[in-house]
Structure 1
């Protein structure tokens, strides 16, 4: 890695899956994995193309029981280009020798490159240089350029350019027992001699996908005349282009591909429009120039300079690149949520969870319009959330743990444990905290953006319905004089129920109950802040009553939060009621036996044991409260509930659960790094580096090739701005509370606060915020010394608490390896 480039030297078959995921190219509309253009799906390569909302539902019969699953569909493969030399078989990794091989992704220009020098069985040496991009300027365009140079031979070559609809979903090993056929062929077609097209349809959801490819051969700037042959069947079409090449003289192949679906606006039908677009595209160079200009505009708001640590700076850019290829300005025009694993793999079946809670902070401060469009995905499914709540016996809106096309609950009832090879019951639909996360996301979006229209027209209704749900699932316990919530799971995920109990869920998960207390207060603040006409409208539409608002007021002060004492007799918040009664786990024994114990749930179940029995956690649960809320906020929540708050209590809670958390989700490193930033900066930075390295290093032993972890990537970006530089917005005011580390000295990042661009920078233990916008633009800034309003061109500098010592890189990388060694 250097500068803006992720580089791989040498062809390593066992690493191709990871490389293909990390070098995907996308534009927020569709995304394609970085596979060889000639590769078909197999044990080494997995070409895949995915689009927002491209779901299909199929049924698998397992032991006589129908299991329904909805998947993000692997769409027809538009990449296929094959090279034949002298009438021989097409070049492949199995029949040539690689003399040179370089695979690289330039994240600044969002272009995937390969440089391959190969020698075939006849001793002919050929240099193949390739470039590929998915256009950020034209969301319907993908382009491939091959530059072929025969180094010691001349003769005839053939290039096969194809569109392949025979693909299936087979990218995740543990899903392969589930039905993976999602496409039905419709028809191939040509649009004149240069352009081939293919139309396919998803089998159940009936989404039509049209692709058209225009393939040309160039010598210099001139189009080279070629002979063309056509072959087509119902779900596949290709052209064979034949032409002569001369030793030492390069030729260039351009494959310009258009991609349309029946979800698009202003089209006749997908294939017709794809054919028209392919005919109108400019050359590779012309379209690439427009593409790079579009990315330049994005980088103006997204690039963080970290001159003190080149690797951190590069990984930051790589993560920002992956966020933007899933959530870009193109996303604002489509019905899209935030798939937890992006658009470059099939893990989690492409579903939308709560990971958006980690993604929105980055977008809120740069592209609030994108956040707004992603929140509209939730609003459009509000009626389905209401129906889910009603079916479960509750009121309001209960959003599903896994969401796909319609907002139904997509969580499977069984889950394959790869450690044991058995299908275990899956109770994770009880993670009702996803609804709380949606409420939280709406409010934070409004605080940063000031988008009154969204709050009035959409956000307020969702917030009321979510608060109504929590009021209906909670019940009053007169013995305690408190409200309680039973039958749910927290973010931990290892605990689905109590040991030996047949009843699903847990009582009084602290994370959930504290969030509900905050929701009960915030929903009233939101209603009070609305203009009177808007307030009346929201109340009328939702049928909100005074008794409901009185109940919220009471829940703000009377939610139950469980506590227990440590062995030293000091109080800590219990992850859930009864946590202290669980057994202690011999962590050292399991580390010695298995090495990587991040997924203790799978390990214990494979041993015939049960994670419900032990004091452990997959990821931050109780600790997460101190990550999502500022110290002032969490203090206020707990004190409103009548519980004592102290800095010592927070330290004790963090230390207590840190010793009992396996970090089975890399999201956990984000939360723990965040809460430790102001407490133990050195430990915080170590965990930050683990999170930062987690996808590029595939720390979970093979999961990244199934799709990048979008929440973790976005979370590492948020940690710099919010965790270390301490820049957050509440109620339209930019609060500065820096907690820097030495590696970030010199860091500079742009942000947008309620429509005004600012720049936050750290230099020599001083933090500076400057308004970098047009005259008349202002930002209200709050520090420990008070508040002031900055005008355009003005800046404010304040000292930091002292730059903490950076964790030595070698030590941090050692910890990353220890935390993430493959099981």
Structure 2
């Protein structure tokens, strides 16, 4: 096999325009070491489902991993480890609809390992998530063949995906066969460290050939009992017109295929189109999923017609969601890679689903497809562009209040305690043991003590309300969510008569490396600063939340929650008397942090090189990160990332603490030296905080986050799924920290902090139902109100301390000279 590899390139061809280059993720040659990463980054999704960018002719092995996933479709399985049952719920790998295999002269030839590759190009058009492979190869008989493969998952018709082959014999003529299949013999096997755990989630129901060109496969998840049906129509076209060819059918209960018999002529291209429909029993107006899938695919458009419709939908999304960066072509390109993947996971198609934000997208199996706190980094991008999608994602949490209430009650608490990892039901899905790949041992996992996920949900709802003024959501669901979370934190906080302040014990902060105190039998820490300050802010907002509602709605929420006046008074008290730990004038990560040992960072870097995952390194050595002043990712620094100096000063002043002008700078300088950035989210947080007083250092960290998935800087994790929080976080950094945009007090504020590496940024947002274009350059900020929305209203903005009203259809310019 001839292999050439140039890695990621940002040109579509030698003659590509600059626009094409900025919207193309491209690879030349084949590199087996890199294929898993490429398959993730060239996935095709539409917010309802996504398929990895695996070549159609490849099967799962150590190099390739085909996978198709539907947003929010999970199944639970149990594994016996040492006689102990371990339960895990996974985002299910669904039947593989991709298989198209080529036989020439009766021999299956199209496996790249079996042919000489003369030319191989692999492209993802980010503008519409269209994946193209251009392949020219020579088989063992000396026959040279050209194959152009195109595929997409339709943004315009959410249940449909399309695949097209154009085959051209270059130096031969003769018979050939194309095998088109739907394979239900799939498992969840895409993450090596999970392979000791049960990965079989599908039970075959049956296969059919309802029409001559159509085949269909029906399966059911083994525990959650979700029926999944996939139907495919395969056609052959010559000179753009369908032609009849002989077909051979074969089926088993979990596999169905058709063999198309072709006569190929030298130099004459032939096209094979495969259109697919996927339906599940979770979908509305579906009935029998097999019948629904069959009927839908039989009526599906031709490839070209469907592609045009698909591109129109993506064009509208880019008009709403593109972010321009002037002066750095690489940053511009990578931001568009990120935006494309965000929209593949969460698009307008997601708005009708009961689904959350999976931390690793829907193109891989890492984190088992669970929903964590990463929505904290994702929703700011969506809320300003696709607020209906944000509303739907918040409804995922609201629909699971019963489980959050039950979890709080089981823990001896009140209100709503949301799980650190959530799946189908909203129960705690965090594993009890976790495999350390460095030691090969299963360690106890205490990360479920990260109760700050409930604080993140409160914050997300409040940011959505502030940005959109969606009072209907606040009245119907939002207020109940927020007040129930405040009630939970009030029940966690306890009053210390010695300190005359409230304290919170037994939790973990975002850091994750510190699970407990050295030598302690119980998990959790005392007075994690991030948690305590966050709770003080929550209690202040919650205490006044009902004042924002009409009296009848406020009364209804009170009655539903059985909310008492004394609870509200307690929230006010907590907001004024929460304890916050300090040492050396710095906010301590948690009480007792200053008593821990300093780590010899230089020694560990010299010994291991990459020390991002210090926890695994230390545990493999028989040590523990609990002993040291370190952090996996930003913890106390997160406060400045979420709230900014002005808001933090208000919180600390209310608590009776000082918050000097240089507090954020001193805090990040202290913790930056003690953070391994074991999560790429940490680079987002540090970059955001640094933007206000050291934009160039911020940009250094920003570019690490920007390249993290495309460069796979964590050594193989991206092949298991994108990192949604990081991808969305980079876009949020541009709008919220470099443009300095925030919504507060019924006004849009901008305080630009452009780093020296760029000349400016421009993006579109929807603020309070009004569409705006925001352009921030070094010497000027321009805000244009784009007319065309029925209920658009003038928008009040404040730029660098100057306040103006932007009229509907108008424009305001602010000089920064």
TM-score by length of 1: 0.96
Corresponding residue for 2:707? 693
CA distance in 2, matches of 1:788, 1:525: 28
Asked whether the equivalents of residues 432 and 444 of structure 2 are also in contact (C-alpha less than 8 Å), the reply is: yes
Q: Which residue of structure 1 aligns with residue 344 of structure 2?
A: 325
Residue 728 (structure 1) aligned with residue 742 (structure 2):
yes
Q: Deviation at 1:109?
A: 2.1
- How far apart are the structure 1 equivalents of 2:277 and 2:71? 16
Q: 1:5 aligns with which of 15, 20, 24?
A: 24
SS for the counterpart of 1:494 is coil
475, 478, 481: which is aligned to 2:500? 481
* 1:148 and 2:167 matched: yes
Shift of 1:223: 1.4
Q: Partner residue of 1:203?
A: 222
**Equivalent-residue separation in structure 2 for 1:131 and 1:340 (angstroms):** 28
Pair 1:741-2:741 in alignment: no
448, 458, 480: which one aligns with 1:439: 458
1:275 aligns with 2:281: no
C-alpha contact 1:161 1:238 (8 A) present in aligned 2: yes
Structure 1 residue 97 corresponds to structure 2 residue 116: yes
Segments of 4+ moved more than 4 angstroms? none
Whole-Å separation in 2 of the counterparts to 1:105 and 1:522: 45
Cα drift, residue 529 of structure 1: 1.1
Q: Is residue 563 of structure 1 aligned with residue 548 of structure 2?
A: no
Superposition deviation, residue 222 in structure 1: 1.8
TM, length-normalised to structure 2: 0.97
8 Å CA contact retained: 2:378, 2:724: yes
- Shift in Å, 1:532: 1.1
Aligned counterparts of 2:581 and 2:22: Cα–Cα separation in 1? 49
1:777 positional shift: 3.1
Instruction: Work out which of the residue numbers 515, 520, 526 in structure 2 matches 1:501.
Output: 520
Distance 1:122 1:388 in 2: 65
Deviations 1:444-503 (A, max 9, x none): 000001100101000100111100000001100000000000000000000000000101
Partner of 1:568: none
Partner residue of 1:194 out of 213, 217, 231 = 213
Pick from 107, 115, 123 the counterpart of residue 126 of structure 2.
107
Residue 812 (structure 2) aligns with: 796
Match of 2:186 among 149, 167, 171: 167
* Structure 1 residue 95: Cα displacement: 1.4
8 A contact 1:225–1:243 mirrored in 2:
no
Conserved in 1, the CA contact under 8 Å of 2:109 and 2:115?
no
Distance in 2 separating the partners of 1:763 and 1:75: 47
Superposition map of 1:126-275 within 5 A? 126-275=145-294
The alignment partner of 2:231 has SS state of strand
Cα distance between partner residues in 2 of 1:74 and 1:250: 34
How far apart are the structure 2 equivalents of 1:148 and 1:774? 46
- Distance in 2 between residues matched to 1:268 and 1:290, nearest whole Å: 26
Using the alignment, how far apart are the partners of 1:4 and 1:785 within structure 2? 36
Tell me if 1:632 matches 2:646: yes
Equivalent in the alignment of 1:29:
48
Equivalents in 2 of 1:331, 1:693: separation in Å? 27
Q: State whether structure 2 residue 732 is matched by structure 1 residue 718.
A: yes
Contact 1:489 1:505 in 2 (8 A): yes
Tell me which residue corresponds to 1:469.
488
Maintained 8 Å contact 1:744/1:762: no
Of 729, 750, 755, 2:764 maps to 750
Task: Give the match's secondary structure for 2:61.
Answer: coil
SS state of the match for residue 232, structure 2? strand
Provide Cα deviations, 1:407-455, integer angstroms capped at 9, x if missing partner.
0000011000001000000000000000000000000000001100101
Instruction: Confirm or deny: 8 A CA contact 2:512 2:632 kept in the other structure.
Output: yes
The alignment yields a C-alpha RMSD, in angstroms, of 1.0
- How far 1:380 sits from its partner (Å)? 0.3
Q: How many residues align?
A: 796
Match of 2:107, SS state, is coil
Q: Is 1:581 matched with 2:600?
A: no
Are 2:801 and 1:785 aligned?
yes
Deviations 1:535-584 (A, max 9, x none): 1111111011011001001001100000011xxxxx10100000000000
Q: Which residue of 2 aligns with 1:772?
A: 786
Q: Does structure 2 retain, via aligned residues, the 8 Å contact 1:183–1:202?
A: yes
**Residue of structure 2 aligned with 1:682, choices 682, 688, 696:** 696
C-alpha offsets along residues 662-706 of structure 1, whole Å, 9 cap, x if unaligned? Answer: 000000000000000011111000000000000000000000000
2:7 aligned partner: none
Preserved CA contact (<8 Å) 1:745 1:765? no
Post-superposition offset of 1:786: 4.0
In 2, Cα distance between equivalents of 1:501 and 1:101: 57
3-state secondary structure, aligned to 2:112: coil
Distance 2:500 2:234 in 1: 73
Aligned: 1:393 with 2:375: no
> 1:579, 1:615 within 8 Å by CA — same for their partners in 2?
yes
CA contact (8 A) 1:747 1:761 kept: yes
Aligned residue runs from structure 1 range 223-622, under 5 A: 223-565=242-584, 571-622=585-636
Counterparts in 2 of 1:764 and 1:484: CA distance versus 1, 3 Å: closer
**1:792: how far off?**
2.1
Partner Cα separation in structure 1 for residue 230 and residue 537 of structure 2? 49
Instruction: Give the aligned partner of residue 820 of structure 1.
Output: none
For 1:532 and 1:276, how far apart are their aligned partners in 2? 50
Residues 230 and 279 in structure 2, CA contact (< 8 A), matched pair in contact too: yes
CA 279–531 in structure 1, closer or farther in 2 if over 3 Å, else same: same
Q: Alpha-carbon deviation of 1:248?
A: 0.4
Q: Which position in structure 2 is the counterpart of 1:47? A: 66
- 8 Å Cα contact 2:187-2:199 kept in structure 1: yes
Partner of 1:77: 96
Residue 149 of structure 1: how far off its partner (Å): 0.6
Deviates more, 1:722-731 or 1:484-493: 722-731
Which string of whole-angstrom CA distances, capped at 9 and with x for unpartnered residues, describes residues 246-285 of structure 1? 0000000000000100011112211101100111011100
CA contact (8 A) 1:59 1:179 kept: yes
**1:652 and 1:741 mapped to 2: Cα distance?**
20
The answer to which of 525-534 and 398-407 deviates more is 525-534
Aligned counterparts of 1:573 and 1:609: Cα–Cα separation in 2: 26
Contact 2:101 2:108 in 1 (8 A): no
Shift, 1:309, TM fit: 1.4
5+ residue gaps, structure 1: 566-570, 803-823
Q: Give the distance between the partners of 1:621 and 1:797, measured in 2 at CA.
A: 38
Deviation at 1:191, TM superposition (A): 1.7
Aligned-partner Cα distance in 2 for 1:235–1:307: 52
TM superposition shift of 1:746: 4.1
- SS of 1:647's equivalent in the other structure is coil
- SS at 1:198's partner residue? strand
In structure 1, what is the Cα distance between the partners aligned to 2:326 and 2:675?
33
Deviations 1:155-203 (A, max 9, x none): 0110000000000000000000000000000000112110000001000
CA separation in 2, counterparts of 1:433 and 1:457?
24
| Equivalent position of 1:813 in the other structure | none
Q: How many angstroms does 1:351 deviate by?
A: 0.3
Q: Aligned to 1:60, which of 76, 79, 83?
A: 79
